[in-house]
Structure 1
């Protein structure tokens, strides 16, 4: 089974629809909602992990897009400025998904965008602000 992190942007017209529930029922795609900002008066934003077989994930993403839901990989909203990063490792201890890890024996900080959930904890602890996460409504 594959696991991918996504940012979903729901148009105002779809806020009251059980889209994520239907995604699971129709395509067998499991989900883990990591962040959600849903307001009936405006569009909604959700960060979630989708788990399933690759073909089913593709079908599910196509279904979301057909409903007008904006779909974007979280990885495209995460950045690390390698010129700023001095490999202190502060981010590795706080990263809940293991997207930031120390490589032994070199002690280099490795960053795997595909594992990143966009939680932003690394941004808060980085002394030089080498990490960036843009997942708010204005960023999409």
Structure 2
């Protein structure tokens, strides 16, 4: 089974629970934490790669605990109207998720390779890259 990238949104009321532990222990899911952020109010987001036979049951568990789950691909977008295909984002993308398609020389995006590092958002001169949490 292929790993799926998801974003988990935790509220302060559940931030002290061992939720990720239960995904591994109770549902035998393999996870890779790509990025995590917890603010001073103990609310946070975690970007995960998650795989395993009980993936659907694991997601049900997360939702039953009050965790909001979103697929990672919904979070990054390239505004095609703004994009000039300058390639600034393709030079800086650490995973190659943004690349120039040859011979057309148009910027393309492979969401499966994206780790939501947000470097592309910072370097895009026309602000065509948009990330929403």
Instruction: State the match for 1:97 in structure 2.
Output: 95
- For residue 58 of structure 2, give the secondary structure of its aligned residue in structure 1: helix
Q: Which moved more, 1:74-83 or 1:94-103?
A: 94-103
Residue correspondences, number: 133
Instruction: State the match for 1:116 in structure 2.
Output: 114
Instruction: State the match for 2:81 in structure 1.
Output: 83
Instruction: Write the deviation string for residues 45-91 of structure 1: whole angstroms up to 9, x where unpaired.
Output: 212222x24x4222211111111101011211211110111111111
Which structure 2 segments of 5+ residues have no match?
none
Instruction: Write the deviation string for residues 20-67 of structure 1: whole angstroms up to 9, x where unpaired.
Output: 0110122222222222223574422212222x24x4222211111111
Distance 1:68 1:106, change over 3 A: same
| Within-5 A mapping of 1:58-77 | 58-77=56-75
Which structure 1 segments of 5+ residues have no match?
136-140
State the 1:96 CA deviation.
Answer: 2.2
Q: Which moved more, 1:73-82 or 1:33-42?
A: 33-42
| Within-5 A mapping of 1:32-71 | 32-38=32-38, 41-50=41-50, 52-53=51-52, 55-71=53-69
* Counterpart Cα distance in 2 of 1:96 and 1:61: 29
Distance 1:40 1:25, change over 3 A: farther
Q: Which moved more, 1:85-94 or 1:33-42?
A: 33-42
What is the TM-score with the length of structure 2 in the denominator? Answer: 0.87
- For residue 12 of structure 1, give the secondary structure of its aligned residue in structure 2: coil
What is the TM-score with the length of structure 1 in the denominator? Answer: 0.83
